[in-house]
Structure 1
Amino acid sequence: MTGTALLEVAWTDPVTGCRGYLVIDRLVRGVASGGLRMRRGCSLFEVRGLARGMTLKEGLNYDPDGRYIPLGGAKGGIDFDPYDERARDVVARYLHAMRPLIEQYWTMGEDLGLRQDVIDGVIAEIGLLSPVQAIYPLLEDREAATARLAEAFRIEVGGLGLDELVGGLGVAQATLTGLELLGMDHQPNRVVLQGFGSMGGATARFLADAGLRVVGVSDVRGVVANPDGLDVENLLRHRDRFGGIDRDNLKPGDRLLPPEAWLDVPAEVLVPAAISYCVDADNQAKIGAQLIVEAANLPVTPDAEELLDARGIRVVPDFVANSATNSWWWWTLFGDVGADAEEAFGKVRSRMRALVTGMFEVATLDGLSLRAAALQLSERNLEAIQARFG
């Protein structure tokens, strides 16, 4: 589907002068879903693309027999450094300005540069019930649904919250299914991740548990690499809330490389899990991996992806690979899964395996890239949602 966004809002912070944006790409039953990110350089163009990606992500996960009916897509973004001591105040002013839209139309949560606890704290301060309260009129039993989601958010496994783990498991399962479909699952596979925050850290854990060798991880300061494999659990124990790795607690054999070296570490799998547009037409030539799985939003530019595809390097698109976090919120709230880690993990694994398998099948049958195949599947579902709900 093509077309312009339903609503675009530009905001200027009266204190710092920084800019913020909200794009609602589409409403389904009057509601749209998408997170809020904060990073220096965030633009309206970026937020517009992210909102469109949320529409595709929601559509792709449509199950006509499920309790959760996909929402429309939206996204918020603030052009400000999340490490700045004024960042929380900027978020508070932004959310206060967007309050009428959060009340009625926009359900939102954490994204790049922001943590859910910060958003939840600000939402309470400005007098709203929840960052997802726009969906409350669609719930059959709001009290039971919100209690179930709150209980799920309290669950931890191995020191990480369930809300963090489901996203990483989705990316890991997309990776494992992709390797299987490419006939690479019976060989030793090395993986490099750009980003070690909520998505990157959890993805690294599940890939290491599955037997892949995590040989490189990057954060804002550079790359930590080890050709024999990094101790992922050690790195997780020694990272800050933005995914920064403590260099004082590395293991023997771990090497420090500059930030741009994340593409130079030899690996079969590459997982961009941080910023958008980090793989472009120029640096894609460095990539020797056979599979790229987009844990971040929009990490590979369209021209780079075209060049990668011509070289036989497959790219699992973001709106497939990183969709599990979004879906898990709604599966839990609507009651498709309970507040239980194993039940959530089972649902994520089965759903992601089905999505990636279907995408590969369409791509093979129709001679398409993986992205084009996924777009075809999502748009087919969006048409069905449109026919059902208008």
Structure 2
Amino acid sequence: MTAPLMTLTWTDHLTGRQGFLVVDRLVRGVCSGGLRMRGGCTLDEVAGLARGMTMKEALHYNPEGRYIPLGGAKGGIDCDPQDPGAYDLLVRYLRAMKPYVESFWTTGEDLGLTQDLVDRAVEEAGLVSSIQAVYPLLDDEAAARRRLADAFAVEVDGIGLDELAGGCGVAESALAALDRADVPYAGARVAVQGLGTMGGATARFLARAGLTVVAVADIKGTIANPAGLDVEALLAARDAYGTVDRSALRPADHELPGDAWLSAEAEVLVPAAVSYAIDTANQERITARWIVEAANMPVLPAAEELLAARGVTVLPDVVVNSGTNAWWWWTLFGDIGPDADEAFAHTRRSMRALIDQMLARAEADGTTPRAAAHAIVADRMPVIAERFGWYR
């Protein structure tokens, strides 16, 4: 694949902190990719995420669908989201990025930010919407915007549909892998790093499918119970950052160090928090059969090679967590309505088809699932380019 179309580094005039925007590719003149905020965020990190967004969009290309994939992009701000000045910094970043958001970059929540916070900052920065660049591509802008707003208002058992859509996709990816290996759900154990938007929703869907969630990790440490955690109780006891109030734990629940989730006795590990969580050193502790990348770039490439050599399958982020982005566009473009059951059914069908295609390609080519995903993207990119061009 080619170098990014555009990279931009912004320096805040008040604090000296930096923010980044990388546009990897445009399709129909527009690109899509969330905005993250974390201390230590770098341009290289954002560039890798932008390339991943190009892949996620291409993987969901369906020439029969209303949603036509966009290009890939990503934004990042080097700041702890819990810093007292974080929100004001976010507003200043968005003011600086206003011409790009207005013209071609559609964005939304990512690590460290919630969509509510992004929406509030977008309004304060003088923008119409974080996704306004896509509006000219819609057949009926008013109806599309109303449909998405209605979808964001839907809640299922106390959690918004916008949070649940991505977790549904991650969970379905794990379930598809278990099905291909003829592993029954009952008795299959899961450990999840991160109980925020993606990790929390994934834990709910997997628990409701019959798997046993034996460990979850948040910023305070790991909560474990070999007999299974009460996922719904933990979800109800978490704060806006995904940190669980320990007073909600049951007597049989144990508090362990923060990295204990890695070595949990589980078939499935779901890193759903930070990037680069699994490296060449700590991968040795993993005994799980599958790692399902709910977070972006949680497994370092060298670690993935070592894991593959000892039979651990990594289901890559570019497929696994692509359901969140796709759900936004399926809803906005009208492939689905603002209904939870319809959204979950469409997500499950689409994600299962992608996982099955990727794993079948990996088996046929004798490669890893990530390499297979890259091969599928390589097949689709020229088709998209031929239909829509590189920039228009």
Task: Kindly indicate whether the alpha-carbon contact (under 8 Å) linking 1:308 and 1:314 is maintained by their aligned counterparts in 2.
Answer: yes
Contact 1:189 1:212 in 2 (8 A): yes
8 Å contact from structure 1 (residues 39, 80) kept in 2: yes
Query: Which residue of structure 2 aligns with residue 40 of structure 1?
Result: 39
Q: In the superposition, relative to structure 1, how do residues 186 and 274 fare at CA in structure 2: closer, same or farther (>3 Å)?
A: closer
How far is the alpha carbon of 1:264 from its aligned partner? 2.1
Residue 278 of structure 1 corresponds to: 277
Q: Tell me the SS of whatever aligns to 1:21.
A: strand
**Structure 2 counterpart of 1:256:** 255
Secondary structure of the 1:245 match is: coil
Note the alpha carbon deviations across 1:27-73, whole angstroms, 9 max, x for none.
Answer: 00000000000111111111010000000000000000000000000
In the alignment, the residues of structure 2 paired with residue 185 and residue 378 of structure 1 have an alpha-carbon distance, to the nearest angstrom, of 31
Counterpart contact for 2:95–2:126, Cα < 8 Å: no
Distance (Å, rounded) in 2 between the aligned partners of 1:339 and 1:256: 39
Query: In structure 1, what residue type is equivalent to 2:20?
Result: Y
Which AA in structure 1 matches 2:339?
Answer: D
Structure 1 residue 20: Cα displacement: 0.9
Q: Which amino acid aligns with 1:376?
A: A
Q: Deviations 1:267-296 (Å, cap 9, x if unpaired)?
A: 110000000011011111110000010000
What's the counterpart of residue 332 of structure 2? 333
In 2, Cα distance between the equivalents of 1:258 and 1:112?
Answer: 22
Q: Is the 8 A contact 2:106 2:134 kept in 1?
A: yes
Q: Which runs of 4+ in 1 moved over 4 A?
A: none
The TM-score, its normalising length taken from structure 2, stands at 0.98
Q: How does 1:299-314 map to 2 (within 5 A)?
A: 299-314=298-313
Q: Residue 229 of structure 1 aligns with which residue?
A: 228
**Conserved? CA contact 2:33–2:75, under 8 Å:** yes
Q: CA deviation at 1:186?
A: 5.7
Q: What CA RMSD, in Å, does the superposition of the two structures yield over aligned residues?
A: 0.9
Give the residue type in structure 2 aligned to 1:386. Answer: A
Aligned residue pair count: 389
Residues 270 and 293 in structure 1, CA contact (< 8 A), matched pair in contact too: yes
Contact 2:185 2:210 in 1 (8 A): no
Aligned letter for 1:121? Answer: R
Secondary structure in 2 aligned to 1:259?
A: coil
Distance in 1 separating the partners of 2:18 and 2:224: 36
Instruction: Structure 2 unaligned segments of length 5 or more: list them.
Output: none
- Give, as a single letter, the amino acid of the residue that structure 2 aligns with 1:166: A
| Residue equivalent to 1:288 | 287
Tell me the distance in 2 between the aligned counterparts of 1:182 and 1:270: 16
Match of 1:207 in 2: 206
- Partner letter of residue 296 of structure 2? N
User: 1:253 aligns to what SS in structure 2?
Assistant: coil
Mapped to 2, the partners of 1:290 and 1:126 lie a distance apart of: 46
Q: Tell me if the contact between 2:34 and 2:108 (Cα under 8 Å) persists in the aligned partners.
A: yes
Cα distance in structure 2, aligned partners of 1:268 and 1:4: 37
Tell me whether 13-22 or 75-84 shows the greater mean CA deviation: 13-22
In 1, Cα distance between the equivalents of 2:184 and 2:171?
13
Q: CA contact under 8 A between 2:169 and 2:348: conserved in structure 1?
A: yes
Q: Which amino acid aligns with 2:250?
A: K
**Residues 136-177 of structure 1: CA deviation (Å, up to 9, x unaligned):** 110110000000000000000000000000100000000000
What residue in structure 2 maps to residue 191 of structure 1?
A: 190
Aligned counterpart, 1:58: 57
Counterparts of 2:181 and 2:338 in 1: how far apart (Å)? 34
Give the TM-score, by structure 1 length: 0.98
Do 1:235 and 1:245's aligned partners in 2 also have CA atoms closer than 8 Å? yes
- In 2, Cα distance between equivalents of 1:206 and 1:123: 31
Task: Tell me if 1:319 matches 2:297.
Answer: no
Which residue identity is paired with 1:63? N
Q: Quick one: which amino acid aligns to residue 345 of structure 1?
A: F
Q: Is the 8 A contact 1:166 1:325 kept in 2?
A: yes
Where does structure 1 lack aligned partners over 5 or more consecutive residues? none
Q: Matched residues in 1 for 2:185 and 2:158: separation?
A: 30
Contact 2:185 2:209 in 1 (8 A): no
| Cα drift, residue 252 of structure 1 | 1.7
Does the alignment pair 1:73 with 2:76?
Answer: no
Match of 2:259, SS state, is helix
